[in-house]
Amino acid sequence: MNKKLADLLRWSIENSTTSPAATQPQTTQSSDAQPMGEDRMLPEATGITVHPSDAKPERPRQLDRDILEMLFGGPSEAELMKAAIEVINDPETTLENKLIAFDNFEQLVESLDNANNLEPLGLWTPLIKLMEHEEEEIRKYAAWCVGTAVQNNIKSQERFLAMGGMKPLVGMCMREGETEGNRKKAVYAISSAVRNYQPALEELVRELKEHLGGEEEFLGKWRGKQVVATDMDLVDQICGWLKKRIAESVKA
């Protein structure tokens, strides 16, 4: 890993909540000020109010010279994506900072170009693996990022499916012990992954049949129907059925 990139991201996280110290407006008047010409009058002589926005902000922790040079040059979004995933997988990073890094990553993959860069950057494998992480919040963010990356993006849909992403995603959705929030986020990712992409929808049906073990409720509902990814009503029905099943399992 590029250590300087990791340090830069950690610095960004540590200082993301740094704000100027609160100061109260002060009006300064000086009776001892020496007379001066009108074009050189001092603020003290005019009773100017000093607002908090004029105060010098609290200085964040300093970066070393190499990182400052990198910052001045501007790390690419691809480098930031790689750094974010490495921070998330760093066992020494706190959960709070991992989630901040994940949030930044999710915003980056909203861009079509960045989402399509997941493959050349080798990030699909670690992202998919994070859907099976022991920490529930990590699993939720992983599914969220998948849903964002594949939404209305045929290239990302293809790569996600080719990398074996549907199986762990459906597993998260159908797992009884999984949190309700995580399962719903998995449905969101499933919906994004299958719309207008026939191979993913067919893989979804296969995975659901495997999990349900021939359950008549599912098999009978769409028996005899052609499952077509461009049929938005059908996709909505399947996702709606999944959400209903999740809600019922939570109540049970």
- Residue indicated by tokens 């349900």: 212
**pLDDT for 93-113, tens place per residue?**
999 999 999 999 999 999 999
**pLDDT for 117-167, tens place per residue?**
999 999 999 999 999 999 999 999 999 999 999 999 999 999 999 999 999
- For residue 27, what pLDDT is reported? 46
CA distance 143 to 146: 5
- For residue 226, what pLDDT is reported? 75
64-73 CB burial, b ≥16 within 10 A, e <16: eeebeebeee
Give Cα 116 distance to the centre of its chain. Answer: 16
- Regions in the chain scoring below 70 on pLDDT: 1-5, 7-8, 11, 15-73, 214-225, 252
* Assessment of whether the complete model's pTM goes beyond 0.95: no
- For residue 17, what pLDDT is reported? 56
- For residue 36, what pLDDT is reported? 46
- For residue 209, what pLDDT is reported? 84
- 102 membership: H or E segment, kind and range: helix 95-108
- 49 membership: H or E segment, kind and range: strand 49-50
Domain ranges in the chain? Answer: 67-251
- For residue 75, what pLDDT is reported? 84
Domain at 67-251, CATH class: mainly alpha
Classify strands 26-27 and 49-50 as parallel, antiparallel or unpaired.
Answer: antiparallel
